[in-house]
Structure 1
């Protein structure tokens, strides 16, 4: 079993450095901006806007999103306390970072959780745009690695948590 842990960690780090090493003009401008789409301001703001939009589909979508975000982030908060994995830039050398470094635990990614939770809920409401929602969620998740804040396993776990919460609460 130890060999599997070593194998996963080495793949996680190799993938981290591959994504974190992407440097070009477009990524340098887009990633620091798109990362905010998974933050509390955007996810809570979108939930509130939908909740206050009146009756019908948008209000139901707002309720679904708010409950899914609340439940998924409760799990994220517990995981960060129980499994306090240090952020990559704090333990690895030669990590390229953004301007806003965080001090809390890395595992799992709350931004990825919120982005994929939001994508799943919005895809239920507007299925024709599912590719857009999931594409944006994937960019948010990748931005977290690009900015040196998370390992790939952090964003994959966060994405899974967001999807499961949206699915369970939308069923």
Structure 2
């Protein structure tokens, strides 16, 4: 068994363990709610709200956030449509997801990418919110595993993509 096969086997075991625990605890409604936090609308509303009502940094936060998402989204789509990893609910025999995913492929997780991007930019402008932002981002990522639409490595890759795009955007903004 090569390294990729070993990683896939571990990824699948962790996925099943999370889903078994999730079903035993009856957490589907909570997972759905947390996952919806990462659908994107909340990021835009928070960004617009800060731009309108927080005079010192709000508008700059919104601008950097929009730049970060403008970089992240095409990269996310390129990766997802190049790698084309089937979602666990489409690949694993006898497994059924709690929700129907919006597209066919799972790697990387767009919800995780967006959540960690938002947390990275928010933490840079409002350090006192950093811990809460990253906890929410992690919960959004975990919810996607628990709902049966992502493997743990999809979440890790999405988190890495989001953090990198957030940091890159912050540095790019400082240059101009």
The question of a shared fold, defined as TM-score above 0.5 by the shorter chain, is answered with: yes
| CA displacement, residues 40-99 of structure 1 (integer Å, 9 cap, x when unaligned) | 322333334444447530111111111111211111111111111111101103434223
Any unmatched runs of 5+ in structure 2? 172-176
2:80 corresponds to = 80
| CA displacement, residues 18-60 of structure 1 (integer Å, 9 cap, x when unaligned) | 11222314x3332110101221322333334444447530111
Aligned length: 169
Q: 1:36, 1:42 within 8 Å by CA — same for their partners in 2?
A: no
Alpha-carbon distance in structure 2 between the residues aligned to 1:168 and 1:101: 29
Q: 2:99, 2:148 within 8 Å by CA — same for their partners in 1?
A: no
CA shift in 2, pair 1:56/1:150, >3 Å: same
State how 1:110-149 maps to structure 2 within 5 Å: 110-149=110-149
Q: Once structures 1 and 2 are overlaid, which stretch shifts more, 105-114 or 122-131?
A: 122-131
Q: 2:108, 2:158 within 8 Å by CA — same for their partners in 1?
A: yes
1:5 corresponds to = 4
Q: 2:120, 2:167 within 8 Å by CA — same for their partners in 1?
A: yes
Q: 1:57, 1:125 within 8 Å by CA — same for their partners in 2?
A: yes
Q: 2:28, 2:98 within 8 Å by CA — same for their partners in 1?
A: no
Q: 2:47, 2:58 within 8 Å by CA — same for their partners in 1?
A: no
Alpha-carbon distance in structure 1 between the residues aligned to 2:53 and 2:168: 24
1:153 corresponds to = 153
Alpha-carbon distance in structure 2 between the residues aligned to 1:50 and 1:10: 44
Compute the RMSD of aligned alpha carbons: 1.8
State whether structure 2 residue 47 is matched by structure 1 residue 39: no
State whether structure 2 residue 15 is matched by structure 1 residue 19: no
In the superposition, the TM-score normalised over structure 1's length comes to 0.90
In the superposition, the TM-score normalised over structure 2's length comes to 0.87
1:102 corresponds to = 102
Alpha-carbon distance in structure 2 between the residues aligned to 1:133 and 1:86: 29
CA shift in 2, pair 1:55/1:104, >3 Å: farther
